[in-house]
Structure 1
Amino acid sequence: MNVEVTQTTTPETQDDWWTPPMPPTDLIFDDGEPLESNRHRIAMNVLIRSLQQAWADRQDYFTGGNMFIYYSSAQARNRDFRGPDFFVVLDVDGTQTRQGWVVWEENGRYPDTIVELMSPSTANIDKNDKKHLYERTFRTRDYFVYDPFNPNTLQGWSLDAAHHYQPLEPNEQGRLWSQTLGFWLGTWEGTIDRETAPWLRFYDTQGNLVFLPEEAAQQRAEQEAQRAEQEAQRAEQEAQRAEQEAQRAEHEAQRAERLAARLRELGENPDSL
C-alpha cells in the first residue's frame, strides 16, 4: 500500500512574526511653560543645589527639577507631561547628561523622592492626582508638597510595606524626615537671590542647615578669616612674650652691671664671686 507522505513546515516562532512596539523617540523635553513664579524657580534650585553641595563627593544619584519624566509609551504618545518640581533618583550614574528622565532608558528606575512646589492653582492636583500617581505607578518612597508663599503648607508622605503612602509627622521644629535622603525638610527664613521668603531647606541629623554652595564658601571664608585672626593674635602674643623676655633680660643685665659697679667701688673683684 502506498502511503502518501505530506511534508509539514515548522510553525513560526513568536519572534518571527511579532515584534513589540518600540518606545517613542520623538520625546518633548520642554513645553515652554515657566514655573509658577520666580520664587518657585528659586525654591527648586535651592533644593537641587543644596543637595548637590551636601553630596559633593557622590556620583551615584541624579537630582533634577521641572524636567519631564516619561514612564510609558502611552503617556508619551498622549503628551501627558509629568515634570516634578524637584526629584532625586538614587543608585544611578549621576554624571550622565539628561534632558529629562526616561524610565525605560534608566533600567526602570523611578524617582525615590519628589517635592512639588504648590500654588493655589496646583495644590489640589499636587495633593491628589500626582500623589496617587507617585504612590501607585512611580512607587516614590518619599513625597512632599510645599507652597513657597505659605510656610504652613509643608506636608509629606512615605510608602509603607504595603506600598501605600502614610503621612509623615513633623518634629518639634515642624520638619519632616526623609528616610530616603537622610535629611529633614523644613522651612528657613532668609534672603536668597535677593528674595526674602520662608524657603524649604534640608537639615542634617543634628539639625544643622544644609548649605548652598555659596553659603558653604562663605562659611569656609569666615572660618579661614577666624583662623587667620587667631594666628595673628597668637603671633602678637608671642611677640609680646618675646619683648617681655627681652625686657627681663635687659633688666637682669642692668642689675648685674650695677652689682659689678658696686663691687668695684668696694674694692672687690667681681670675677672671684
Structure 2
Amino acid sequence: MVVSDHRSEGANLSGRRVVLTGASRGLGEALAHAFSRAGAQVALVARSAPDLERVSAALPGDALALAGDVTDADFNHRVAGEVVAAWGGLDVWIANAGVAPTVGGPLETTPEQWRQVLDVNLTGAFLGARAAAAHLGPGGRLIFTGSVLGERPRAGLAAYSASKAGMVATAKALALDLAAAGVTVNVVAPGWFDTPLTEGWMRNPALSERITGHTALRRWGDPAELTGAYLFLASEASSFVTGSVLTVDGGYLLV
C-alpha cells in the first residue's frame, strides 16, 4: 500500500484560515496559540473586545479580533465575510463558545437560564456552522466543542448536558448535509480540564475529588493536552473523519 505524502503533514496548518469562537480565555485562548503556532491565520471571536485584543497581540501569526454575540445570526455572517475579505477564503470554523453549566434541578433552573445555555452552546454553534457553510469548500472543517457531560450527565446539569448532547446530533446531521461539498464535521468532547468554566469545581476539594475519582488518570486535564485533537481534526490527517466525536477525557467515561 502506498500512502500519499501529504498525510504525513499532520498538524501543519500553514495557510489555513480559521475562525475560533470563545477565543478570549481558557480553552479558546490555548487553541488560538496552538493554531497560530501551527501556521494558521486565526480570527478570534468572543464578546469582550479588550480580551480578544490581548490574545491577538500575543499570537505569533496573522490574527483578527472580532467581538460580538454568537447567538446573533447576522454577526456570524459578518465574521465569515470579514475573514473572506481579509484572507481570501475560510477553511476551518471552530464553534467553541459556551457558557458554564447552571447547577440546579428542574425547580431551581429558571426558563431564562435554560434558554441562555441552549442559545449560546447549541444555537450559537449552529448559527456559526450555517455562516461557515456558505464559504467552506472541499477540505473545509467544522469542529464543535462538546463535552463528556453530553454523554454522561450529572445531576443539576440538565441544560448544559442537553446542549452538548444536541450538539453531537447536530454535528452528525451536518456531516451528512455537507459531505457532498467535501466538508467534514466533528466534535471534540473534553472531560474535566482546568479552565475558567470549571474553576468552581476544581477549587472545591470535595467536588474535585469526586471528578478525579471518576477519571481513569486520576487528575484534571491541562488545556494544552486538548489542543492536539483540534489540530488533528483541522488538518489533512483527518480528511476521512466526519460525523465523529473525539473524546479527550483522561478516561472519565470509563470509570
Fold equivalence (TM over 0.5): no
Larger Rg: 1
User: Per the shorter chain, which TM-score range?
Assistant: 0.3 to 0.5
Higher relative contact order (CA 8 A, sep 6+): 2
Name whichever structure is richer in strand by fraction: 1
Name whichever structure is richer in helix by fraction: 2
